[in-house]
C-alpha cells in the first residue's frame, strides 16, 4: 500500500487536462472507426477509455487471447492524436468462466446465486476469481506495455455499484479469515460483538456465519459493521491485485478507478492509496431522478464534493451527456447548453479531467437508450458542438486550472468509512449523519458559500467553519486537530 497522504487539498498530478469519452469500438462496425476518430480529433479530444466490458473478446476461451480489435482501434485513434486509457475488464467476466467455475458467482441474502450476465455477477472475495482477474490483467498489461498510445489504466468498472454484498461460501471463508486476523482470539470477537446477548458467542472462527437480517431476527450491529469492513477490505484487495501487476509491468502508467455507487469502499484506506487519483462517474439527472431533490445541479455539487473529500481532486471518467435509461428508469434530457454547464460544474468542484459518456450510443443491450455525444443516426448535433466547445475551453484554461485546489470555507466532516456504515447497523428510523450533512451542504449551495466535505484527520486550517454531523464513532487522535482548529 502506498504511503501517500490523502487530502481534500490535493490536485491531480497531470500535465494536461484529459478530455474525451468512453469509447466502445466493439459495439459498432469497423467502417465507422475512421470517421469517429476524425470527429474526436476535430472536437479537441485527447483521450478515450476502452475495454471495461470486453473480457469475452480479449479472451474468447481460457488462455487464448485476441487483442486484434482493440489494437486496430487504438492505432486508428493514435494516428489522429488521441491516446487510450485501457480498463481491466473484470466487471463482466466471460460466460466460459462462469460455466467452469459457478462457485465464483455472488450469492444474495436469500441464498440465490446470481446468474451470468449483466455485470458484477462474480464475487471479488473469491480466490478463484481473483486468480483469473490477475491473469487477464497481466496478459493485457504485457501486451500493451510498449504501445505508445496506451497512457493509463482504469481498474474494473464502478466496483460495488450493482451489488456489493455476497453471501457465498467463498465470502464466508474469507470473512472468517479476516476476523481471525483482526481479533486473533475468539474471545475478543465475542467481546466486541456482545456474544452474551441472545447466545451469539462463538467457540471458534470457523463457526462464524454471515449476518443475514431476519434470520430469524436482527444480527448484532458489531457483526454487521465487521461484515461491511470485510467487504471494503475485500474490494481493496481485489483492486490491489490489479494495480500491483500494472505498476510492475510499466511504472509510468497512471492508474485510477471510476467510482459509482460509493458502497462498501473505504476511500481513506488502501483502495485510494493504491491509485494515482480517483475518478467519479457523475450523472446529475440520474441522481435527481432517484432522490427527487428538485435540482440536479445541487445533486451534482453534492456528489462531487463528497468525492473530493476522499483524496482531493479527481477526474470524471463518465459525465452524463444526454438522456439515459435502463429498463427500469429513465432520466430527463439535458437542455441545449446543459451538457457544457454540467461539465463546467464538474471542473468547478475539482475535476482535473473529464470524459463524456459515451461517444456513441449502443444499438443493443440494456442501455440502448443511453445517448452519447453522437446520435443513433451517426450525426453529431448540439451535444457534439457543446463537447467541442468544452474541450476547446479546457485546453485554453488548463495552465490556470491544473495544480490548484477547490476553495472551501465550510468543511463538513465526511469520508469516514466506519461512520458511514455504523448508522446503517442500527438506524431506528433516524436520519443518518449524511442526511444531516446534506442539509448543511444544500444551505451553503443555496447561499453561495464555498462548502465541501473533509475528514477530521485532514488539514482543517484553511476552513472558516467545521461542521461535524452526529457521528457515532470518534477517534481520540482527531480531537487534537479539532481543538487546534
Question: Has 457 been annotated as catalytic?
Answer: no
Instruction: Identify the pLDDT of residue 332.
Output: 84
- CATH 3.20.20.80 assigned to domain 18-166+222-401? The reply is yes
SS3 content of the chain, % helix, strand, coil (to 5): 45, 15, 45
Q: Whole-model pTM above 0.85?
A: yes
Give every CB contact of residue 376 below 8 A, 6+ residues apart in sequence. Answer: 361, 363
**For position 289, what pLDDT does the model report?**
56
Residue pLDDT, tens place only, 397-446? 999 999 999 999 999 999 999 998 999 999 988 999 999 999 999 999 99
Rounded to an integer, what distance in angstroms lies between the CA atom of residue 414 and that of residue 283?
21
Residue 430 or 235, more confident: 235
Residue 2 scores a pLDDT above 70: no
Q: What is the mean pLDDT of residues 144-161?
A: 98
The backbone torsions φ and ψ at residue 480, rounded to the nearest 5 degrees and listed phi first, read -60, -40
Query: Contact at 8 Å (CB) between 55 and 92?
Result: yes
Q: What is the pLDDT of residue 248?
A: 99
Decide which of 412 and 299 is more confident. Answer: 412
Residue 287's pLDDT band (boundaries 50, 70, 90)? Answer: confident
- Top-confidence range, 69-78, 213-222, 365-374, 435-444: 69-78
| Whether the Cβ atoms of residue 440 and residue 467 lie closer than 8 Å to each other | yes
Overall residue count recorded for the chain in this entry: 485
Say whether 52 is catalytic. no
Instruction: Using alpha carbons, select from 392, 384, 389, 307 the residue that is nearest to residue 351.
Output: 307
Residue 300: predicted pLDDT:
94
CB 34 within 8 A of CB 76: yes
Which of 39, 84, 19, 22 has its CA nearest to residue 378?
39
Q: Which residue has the higher pLDDT, 94 or 119?
A: 94
Q: What is the rounded distance in angstroms from the CA atom of residue 451 to the CA atom of residue 407?
A: 8
CA 234 – CA 203 distance, rounded (Å): 25
**Using 50, 70 and 90 to split pLDDT, how confident is the model at 1?**
very low
Question: pLDDT of 302-343, one tens digit each?
Answer: 999 999 999 999 999 999 999 988 888 888 888 999 999 999
- Does 333 or 215 have the greater pLDDT score? 333
Calpha distance 49→318 (Å, rounded): 10
Average pLDDT, the chain: 95
Q: Is the pLDDT of residue 292 over 70?
A: no
Catalytic residue among 59, 174, 318, 338: 318
Would you call 44 helix, strand, or coil by DSSP?
coil
Amino acid at each position: 500500500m502506498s504511503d501517500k497522504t490523502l487530502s481534500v487539498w490535493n490536485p491531480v498530478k497531470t500535465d494536461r487536462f484529459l478530455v474525451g469519452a468512453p469509447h466502445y469500438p466493439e459495439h459498432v462496425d469497423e467502417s465507422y472507426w475512421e470517421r469517429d476518430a476524425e470527429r474526436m480529433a476535430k472536437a479537441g479530444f485527447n483521450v478515450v477509455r476502452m475495454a471495461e466490458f470486453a473480457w469475452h473478446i480479449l479472451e474468447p476461451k481460457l488462455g487464448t487471447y485476441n487483442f486484434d480489435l482493440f489494437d486496430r482501434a487504438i492505432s486508428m485513434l493514435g494516428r489522429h492524436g488521441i491516446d487510450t486509457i485501457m480498463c481491466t475488464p473484470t466487471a463482466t467476466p466471460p460466460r466460459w468462466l462462469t460455466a467452469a467455475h459457478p462457485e465464483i458467482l455472488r450469492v444474495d441474502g436469500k441464498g440465490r446465486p446470481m446468474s451470468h450476465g449483466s455485470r458484477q455477477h462474480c464475487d471479488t472475495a473469491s480466490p478463484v476469481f481473483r486468480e483469473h482477474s490477475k491473469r487477464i490483467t497481466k496478459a493485457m498489461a504485457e501486451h500493451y506495455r510498449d504501445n505508445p498510445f496506451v497512457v493509463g489504466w482504469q481498474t474494473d468498472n464502478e466496483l460495488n455499484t450493482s451489488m456489493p454484498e455476497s453471501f457465498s461460501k467463498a465470502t464466508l471463508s474469507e470473512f472468517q479469515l479476516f476476523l481471525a486476523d483482526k481479533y486473533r482470539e475468539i474471545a475478543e470477537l465475542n467481546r466486541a460483538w456482545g456474544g452474551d446477548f441472545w447466545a451469539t458467542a462463538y467457540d471458534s472462527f470457523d463457526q462464524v456465519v454471515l449476518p443475514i437480517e431476519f434470520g430469524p431476527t436482527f444480527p448484532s450491529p458489531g457483526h454487521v459493521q465487521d461484515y461491511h469492513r470485510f467487504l471494503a477490505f475485500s474490494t481493496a484487495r481485489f483492486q490491489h491485485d490489479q494495480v500491483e501487476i500494472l505498476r510492475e509491468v510499466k511504472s509510468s502508467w497512471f492508474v485510477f478507478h471510476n467510482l459509482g455507487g460509493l458502497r462498501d469502499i473505504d476511500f481513506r484506506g488502501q483502495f485510494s492509496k493504491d491509485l494515482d487519483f480517483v475518478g467519479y462517474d457523475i450523472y446529475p439527472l440520474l441522481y435527481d431522478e432517484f432522490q427527487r431533490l428538485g435540482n440536479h445541479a445541487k445533486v451534482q455539487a453534492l456528489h462531487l464534493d463528497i468525492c473530493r473529500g476522499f483524496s482531493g481532486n479527481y477526474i470524471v471518467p463518465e459525465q452524463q451527456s444526454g438522456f439515459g435509461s435502463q429498463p427500469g428508469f429513465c432520466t430527463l434530457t439535458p437542455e441545449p447548453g446543459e451538457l457544457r454547464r454540467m461539465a463546467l460544474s464538474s471542473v468547478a468542484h475539482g475535476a482535473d479531467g473529464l470524459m463524456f459518456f459515451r461517444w456513441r450510443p449502443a444499438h443493443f443491450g440494456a442501455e440502448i437508450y443511453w445517448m452519447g455525444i453522437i446520435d443513433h443516426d451517426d450525426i453529431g448535433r448540439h451535444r457534439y458542438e457543446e463537447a467541442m466547445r468544452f474541450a476547446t475551453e479546457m485546453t485554453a484554461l488548463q495552465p490556470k486550472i491544473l495544480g490548484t485546489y477547490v476553495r472551501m470555507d465550510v468543511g463538513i466532516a465526511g469520508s469516514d468509512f466506519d461512520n458511514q456504515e455504523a448508522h446503517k447497523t442500527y438506524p431506528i428510523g433516524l436520519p443518518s449523519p449524511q442526511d444531516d450533512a446534506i442539509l448543511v451542504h444544500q444551505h451553503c449551495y443555496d447561499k453561495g458559500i464555498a462548502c465541501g466535505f473533509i475528514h477530521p484527520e485532514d488539514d482543517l486550517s484553511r476552513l472558516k467553519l467545521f461542521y461535524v454531523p452526529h457521528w457515532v464513532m470518534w477517534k481520540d487522535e482527531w480531537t487534537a486537530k479539532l481543538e487546534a482548529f
